[in-house]
Amino acid sequence: MKPFRIQRNPIVIPTDDDKIIKEHFGLASSGQSDISIAHMVAPPGWSEPFQTPEFDEYTFIIKGRKQFCINGETIVLNAGESIMISKNTRIQYANPFDEPCEYLAICKPAFSPNTVNRED
């Protein structure tokens, strides 16, 4: 077995909010439960419900801006900036701006719909 794995065809995760999610490594793409790495593009005006994930999430902004509402504090990151949000933190991700936001998301352990704990 090779000591590396190249991902040339990430899994596109279907969404109903026009967000593009391409998972390179993780539960959906490679069956890995210890980490997930996804390339994402959030369209202008996009947002998710509040959630309290059971995983640490690292986000690196490639282009545009992204808004984070963390425990009542609103933070905006720009291209070239990154953030780490500890598991069990209540957060809402959004892109209320007029341009798409392209970013990488790394979750440890891997993202799972069962452990993201989105609010209704």
Statement: residue 1 has pLDDT above 90: no
Q: What pLDDT digit, counting tens, does each position of 47-81 carry?
A: 999 999 999 999 999 999 999 999 999 999 999 99
Q: What pLDDT digit, counting tens, does each position of 13-30 carry?
A: 999 999 999 999 999 999
Q: For the whole model, what pTM was predicted?
A: 0.94
CATH level 3 topology of 44-102: Jelly Rolls (2.60.120)
Q: Which two tokens stand for residue 90?
A: 């209540």
pLDDT of residue 69: 98
DSSP 24-74: EESTTTT--SS-EEEEEEEPTTEE---B--SSEEEEEEEESEEEEEETTEE
Q: What pLDDT digit, counting tens, does each position of 88-109 carry?
A: 999 999 999 999 999 999 999 9
